[in-house]
Amino acid sequence: MLIPIRCFSCGIVIADRWTKYKKLIQPKDEGGEGKSIEEALDEVKLTRYCCRRMFVSHVELIEEVAPFSTYRY
Ligand SMILES: [Zn+2]
């Protein structure tokens, strides 16, 4: 869904780096920078492997789920 605000293991705030990370790994022909995941994680300064796994293992499903979350009366 959404990236968790903090790393589950060490508690450092990680969500603020998600947008930059996504832009870095996006292919160049789609407007990103086309970097590898390893380079992108280094650039957003996620060095611990507990924090890196939060980004690597994350599947962003918010766009698919959001249409079904309508206002309830
Ligand atoms: Zn961590």
Give the chain's domain count.
Answer: 1
Q: Give the pLDDT confidence score for residue 73 in this predicted structure.
A: 65
For residue 51, the CA-to-ligand 1 centroid distance in Å is 4
The dihedral sign for the CA sequence 46, 49, 54, 59: positive
* CATH number of the domain to which 52 belongs: 1.10.10
- Provide block-wise average pLDDT over 10 residues at a time, the chain (73 residues): 92 95 94 94 96 94 81 66
The dihedral sign for the CA sequence 32, 1, 46, 19: positive
> What domain range is 20 assigned to?
15-68
Q: Give the pLDDT confidence score for residue 72 in this predicted structure.
A: 64
For residue 4, the CA-to-ligand 1 centroid distance in Å is 11
Q: Give the pLDDT confidence score for residue 36 in this predicted structure.
A: 95
Q: Token pair 């390893």 is at which residue?
A: 38
Supply the pTM of this predicted model. Answer: 0.81
For residue 55, being part of any structural domain is answered with yes
For residue 9, being part of any structural domain is answered with no
For residue 7, being part of any structural domain is answered with no
Segments in 1-73 forming alpha helices (H): 18-25, 37-43, 49-56, 62-65
For residue 53, the CA-to-ligand 1 centroid distance in Å is 8
For residue 45, being part of any structural domain is answered with yes
For residue 58, being part of any structural domain is answered with yes
For residue 10, the CA-to-ligand 1 centroid distance in Å is 4
For residue 60, the CA-to-ligand 1 centroid distance in Å is 19
